[in-house]
């Protein structure tokens, strides 16, 4: 096992390389792929069909955009929640009813305007997670702030699904004791894990 300092450095370098690749995607290319694939593949999952409360992220630049999926899930009668960062360490799930309720929040990420309805982690049936990279063992690399890893401690493994581009699935993601695995990976090519 590598010392924590070595893992941290490797994660930092890997994150830098993967984010550069993600930023290199054209806006047109990502919009076409988003609309065509991600919503379709997520809707087909048994866990989606059985879920009533779903936590889905609001995409940052280069991430697979789930806006179309969120709209579909709302029409489908699901309660959809998005992450809201409450401080520099913690996030919670706030219910979205309309994209009209969004504003720019911490880290220049779209977030819900206050007031909002919050769901406890044990009420969430499915969590769609953005990632910088994942491997086929379900290890994931996030942005490095630990928001999702802290939140996922209260979410059962089978409810955690990463949504990423296929090039972000790599051979090995370095992990430490704080990292939380995902049970599935969805890419623009379908379900990988």
Residue burial 31-68, b: 16+ Cβ < 10 Å; e: rest: eebbeebbbebbeeeeebeebebbbbbbbeebbbbbbe
Give which of 129, 69, 125, 76 is closest to 99, Cα–Cα. Answer: 69
- pLDDT score recorded for residue 116: 92
- 29-74, pLDDT tens digit by residue? 666 666 567 889 999 999 999 999 999 999 988 899 999 999 999 9
- 127-171, pLDDT tens digit by residue? 999 999 999 999 999 999 999 999 999 999 999 999 999 999 999
Binding residues for substrate: 58, 63
Binding residues: 11-15, 58, 63, 140-148
Confidence check: pLDDT of 117 > 70: yes
- 100-115, pLDDT tens digit by residue? 999 998 778 899 998 9
The number of folded domains in the chain is 1
Give which of 6, 44, 46 is closest to 159, Cα–Cα. Answer: 46
Stronger pLDDT, 29 or 173, i.e. the higher one? 173
Range of the domain at 31: 3-192
Stronger pLDDT, 3 or 114, i.e. the higher one? 114
- pLDDT score recorded for residue 62: 86
Confidence check: pLDDT of 16 > 80: yes
- Residue 64: which CATH number? 3.40.50.10420
Q: 56: which 2 tokens?
A: 């889905």
Binding residues for ATP: 11-15, 140-148
- pLDDT score recorded for residue 91: 94
């Amino acid at each position: 096992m590598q010392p924590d300092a070595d893992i941290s450095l490797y994660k930092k370098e890997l994150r830098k390389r993967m984010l550069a690749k993600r930023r290199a995607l054209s806006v047109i290319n990502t919009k076409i792929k988003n609309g065509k694939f991600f919503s379709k593949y997520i809707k087909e999952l048994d866990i989606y069909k059985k879920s009533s409360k779903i936590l889905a992220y609001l995409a940052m630049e280069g991430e697979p955009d789930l806006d179309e999926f969120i709209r579909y899930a709302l029409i489908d009668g699901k309660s959809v929640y998005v992450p809201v960062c409450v401080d520099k360490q913690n996030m919670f799930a706030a219910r979205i009813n309309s994209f009209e309720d969004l504003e720019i929040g911490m880290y220049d990420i779209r977030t819900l305007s206050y007031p909002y309805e919050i769901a406890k982690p044990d009420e969430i049936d499915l969590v769609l997670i953005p990632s910088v990279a994942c491997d086929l063992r379900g290890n994931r690399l996030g942005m490095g702030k630990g928001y999702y890893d802290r939140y996922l401690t209260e979410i059962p493994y089978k409810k955690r699904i990463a949504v990423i581009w296929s090039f972000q699935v790599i051979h090995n993601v370095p992990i430490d004791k704080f990292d939380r695995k995902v049970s599935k990976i969805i890419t623009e090519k379908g379900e990988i894990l």
